[in-house]
Amino acid sequence: MNQRFDGKIVAITGGSEGIGLATAKAFVAEGARVYITGRRQDRLDAALATLGERAVGVQGDVANAADLDRLYDRIREDHGRLDVLFANAGTADSEALPLDDITAHDFERIFGVNVRGLLFTVQKALPLLGAGSAVVLNGSVAGSKGFPGQSLYNATKAAVRSFARSWTADLKDRGIRVNVVAPGGTETQLMRGYLDTRPGAEDMFNQLVPMGRLGRTEEVADAVLFIASSQGSYIAGAELVVDGGLSAI
């Protein structure tokens, strides 16, 4: 087993399920000590049961600054440093939200997690990040597509892509790399719930994807680990797309 992260300290927001949990498992398997967050304690406990003794859970919401402080205070107390941050936590609407129907509450809810929450997830981690550390932001192909009824979500992921460019410039003198992983449709609980309630939606989606299927969470995790590892040491400000060719063709 490759041990690219032996002795490394990793934090993953939204690590109790989906892409976050798959990535936490991959980091643990490669020797890392992993701290995960999740809003629901029951899901966090279930995730920790699968991750084992090399994982620590800190319940919290990235939209809450105090919850982020608790995460980083715990890491500071335990290790005094952070080697990899995967800012993964995000939210989306399971139903279409056309422009006519968007409310101020919708805006605050989605931007509050996907943009404001992500920004302060990274900012508050900076005192723990040193030269050679890596930040990976979870974006989406939605940031460069115009999916109908998803303009708020699309815009937040475009902001994530922009953050990676700007923060690469901001942090280059500190030796901190920032990149984005951009999944397409991925087999998560949220995606499965969406497809299962819409007859024919999965077949239609698969026809749009050159590889003919949804992505697996483990495939996104592999991309995160690559770009965070020494193998990605000359990659900065980039967007690594993991979408089966959907956005390319």
Q: Which domains are seen in the chain, by residue range?
A: 9-242 (3.40.50.720)
Residues in the chain with pLDDT values less than 50:
none
24-67 pLDDT, tens digit per residue, is 999 999 999 999 999 999 999 999 999 999 999 999 999 999 99
**Beta-strand runs (E) in the chain:** 9-12, 33-38, 55-59, 82-87, 129-138, 177-183, 239-242
pLDDT at 218: 97
> Any long-range contacts for 45-54 (C-beta under 8 Å, 24+ apart)?
46/16, 47/15, 47/16, 47/17, 47/21, 50/21, 50/25, 51/21, 51/24, 51/25, 52/28, 54/28
Cβ count near 213 (within 10 Å): 12
- Active-site residue among 72, 153, 194, 234? 153
pLDDT at 196: 83
Active site residue 194: no
Cβ count near 122 (within 10 Å): 21
pLDDT at 1: 61
Q: Left (φ > 0), alpha (ψ -120 to 50) or beta: where does 143 sit?
A: alpha
